[in-house]
Amino acid sequence: MSSPKPTYNNWLDCWIFTSFPMSAEAMGLYRILFALYLLIWGVPNFVWIADSPNSFFNPPTYSLGALFSSFPAYWFLQGLSLLIVALTMLLLFGWFTRWVSIGLCIAIVIGKSFAFSYGLIGQDLIVWLVPLLMSFSNWGSKYSIDAKRSTNPPSANSPWPITMMALLLGFGMFSAGVPKLMGGWLDLGTNATRGHFFTQYYVIGNLKLLSSWVVNISNPLFWEAMDWGAVLFELLFLAAVIKPKWFRAWLLLAIGFHTTTFLLFNISFHFQYIVYLLFIDWSKITSGFYQRFQALTNTLITVKGLIAAGLLYIPLYILAQEYTLQPATLAPSPFLLVTDLLGLDYKLVVGITALMAAYTVVVWQLTTKRNSTTT
């Protein structure tokens, strides 16, 4: 017999705890997808920092790096990078999931505090908050070693971390829009987007995809529309958090926004898509799929499976770290090593793959009916 649904005394409580309901099965599936995303497209790596001269060391004021006077030693950065790999493997298999999730976030934030010591803050920080918040959601209660080893009934899953992630994502976009607004992007006499495009095209040399075609567009209305669209999209992202339907619609706009950025500027925001995946309507996955997935994970998600995966992946990770020809700042992975061996552009392949995956999810969401039997 199912327990009665909780009641909420005010709008705020209802918004926090009911906006993005997610079953334990969906949380477990998302945990696996998140870990696979890191392992396939690159677990954060910080070994490259050891090659940097200490004259470049300029950490943000409020960061762990500010406690140091120079970059850490190679052994520390290598150990931290291997620790992140190990924690990601543990997250994939769901062993000590809550503590591993927290540890993974802390380890990445420590590494990022030194990576940001060049004076430039990366835009992927939102991704590394996912394991921290989801550690409180009980996303290790299904398809995990924890679930197999536990003798107690699983505790209820908590959807409030998903709402908090939506709020953080909204604030992140809003904080990106405010400087554009204050910097005159809505001034009809300027074309800020065009200026950034010329920097990418002529200075950095991003000449792929549609860049060579767009460089010849001189119509001011086109570039002004790009300016206004970017500012309004980012500022209104925070307001869209109020209702899940608005937020999911804004995520669809976000995918289009990132597509435009990728095609014009050759800048891939592939790391955003794994965060967006957290907010899809997971109830559209049928119970039959979860039953088949449970049977699959019963075979694969074991301690022996974890050891076998580690023995296979970690040597490939070290090999990619030593022999890839791509810039050292890219996180090494077997996928990166394969693209190198094939002579492919890693960023281009990742960007196109991420876009294809994102649009596949969108089409699936729009064409699949909601499964009323899923909790």
**For residues 111 and 64, what is the distance between their CA atoms, to the nearest angstrom?**
9
Q: How many residues can be counted in the chain? A: 375
- What pLDDT is attached to residue 146? 92
Query: Do residues 51 and 146 share a domain?
Result: yes
Range of the structural domain that residue 323 is part of:
20-158+287-375
For residues 141 and 38, membership in a common domain is answered with yes
User: Using only C-alpha atoms, what is the Rg of the chain?
Assistant: 22
* pLDDT per residue as tens digits for the range 178-223: 999 988 898 888 888 888 888 888 888 877 888 888 888 888 899 9
* Domain assignment present for 123: yes
The Cα angle at residue 340 between residues 317 and 262, in degrees rounded to 5: 100
Q: Are residues 30 and 109 in the same domain?
A: yes
Residue 311 falls inside a structural domain: yes
Total number of domains constituting the chain: 2
The answer as to whether 232 is a domain residue is yes
Over residues 293-313, the mean pLDDT reads 93
**Residue 125 within any structural domain of the chain:** yes
Q: State the CB neighbour count (10 A cutoff) for residue 293.
A: 17
151 and 228 within one domain: no
210 Cβ contact partners less than 8 Å away, ≥ 6 residues apart: 263, 264
Tokens (6 digits) for 138: 């009980």
Reported as a pLDDT band with limits 50, 70 and 90, residue 3 is very low
* pLDDT tens digits for range 310-335: 999 888 888 877 776 555 555 667 77
pLDDT, tens digit (0-9, with 9 covering 90-100), for 103-159: 999 999 888 888 888 766 667 888 989 999 999 998 999 999 999 887 776 666 788
The reported pLDDT for the residue numbered 191 is 86
Nearest to 211 by CA among 219, 220, 202, 221: 202
Domain boundary among 219, 236, 268: 268
How much is the average pLDDT of 168-183? 91
Reported pTM: 0.90
pLDDT at 154: 61
The pLDDT confidence band at residue 174, using thresholds 50, 70 and 90, is: very high
Q: How far apart are CA 172 and CA 128, in angstroms?
A: 13
Cα–Cα dist 240/357, whole Å: 23
Q: Is residue 291 domain-shared with residue 149, that is, in the same domain?
A: yes
pLDDT at 38 over 70: yes
Local structure of residue 136 (DSSP, 8 states)? T
CB 81 within 8 A of CB 44: yes
Are the CB atoms for 147 and 154 separated by under 8 Å? yes
Q: What is the pLDDT of residues 46-101, one digit of tens each?
A: 888 888 888 888 887 777 877 888 888 889 999 999 999 999 999 999 999 999 99
Q: Are residues 80 and 114 in the same domain?
A: yes
What mean pLDDT is predicted for residues 287-293?
Answer: 92
Q: What are 211-230's pLDDT values in tens digits?
A: 888 888 888 899 999 999 99
Say if residue 303 is in the same domain as residue 255. Answer: no
Neighbouring residues of 301: CB distance < 8 A, sequence distance ≥ 6: 93, 94, 143, 144, 145, 148
Q: What is the pLDDT of residues 61-73, one digit of tens each?
A: 777 877 888 888 8
Domain boundary among 236, 268, 300: 268
Q: Domain for residue 337, yes or no? A: yes
SS3 state of residue 315:
helix
Task: Indicate whether 172 and 94 sit together in one domain.
Answer: no
User: Do residue 226 and residue 153 come from a single domain?
Assistant: no
CA distance 212 to 208: 7
Q: Which residue has the higher pLDDT, 17 or 60?
A: 17
- pLDDT band (50, 70, 90) for residue 1: very low
Q: Mean pLDDT over all residues of the chain?
A: 86
Contact between 264 and 229 under an 8 Å Cβ cutoff? The reply is no
Last residue of a domain, one of 268, 303, 327: 268
Whether 4 is covered by a domain: the verdict is: no
365 and 310, same structural domain? yes
Is 326 part of a structural domain of the chain? yes
Whether residue 343 is found in the same domain as residue 294: yes
Q: Do 130 and 31 lie in a common domain? A: yes
> Is 374 a residue whose pLDDT tops 60?
no
Is 281 among the domain residues? no
* pLDDT given at position 2: 45
